[in-house]
Amino acid sequence: MKLVELAVEKKRSQMMQTAFKTGLTSVETVKLSQELDEMLNVFIPPHFEEKHINHSQIKKK
């Protein structure tokens, strides 16, 4: 596992543990969630989702 993946997994785990202890909407949990979001925004290329979603297969209502 890459160092980046380990860092993201560590932050996610920390966030989940905090959520179980303090609740999903606690200040601590929200802060960790925002930090995780920032990490993912930096480390995951913006075109990542486009490669894995075939938009022609999505049914429009």
pLDDT of residue 61: 45
- The H-assigned helical ranges of the chain are 3-22, 27-43, 48-52
Count of domains observed in the chain: 1
pLDDT digits (tens, 9 = 90+) for 35-59: 999 999 887 766 655 555 554 555 5
The CATH number of the domain where 20 resides is what?
Answer: 4.10.280
| CA–CA separation, 35 and 55 (whole Å) | 29
pTM of the model: 0.69
Q: For the chain, give the number of residues.
A: 61
pLDDT of residue 4: 86
Residue identified by tokens 């999505």 is 58
pLDDT digits (tens, 9 = 90+) for 6-30: 999 999 999 999 999 999 999 999 9
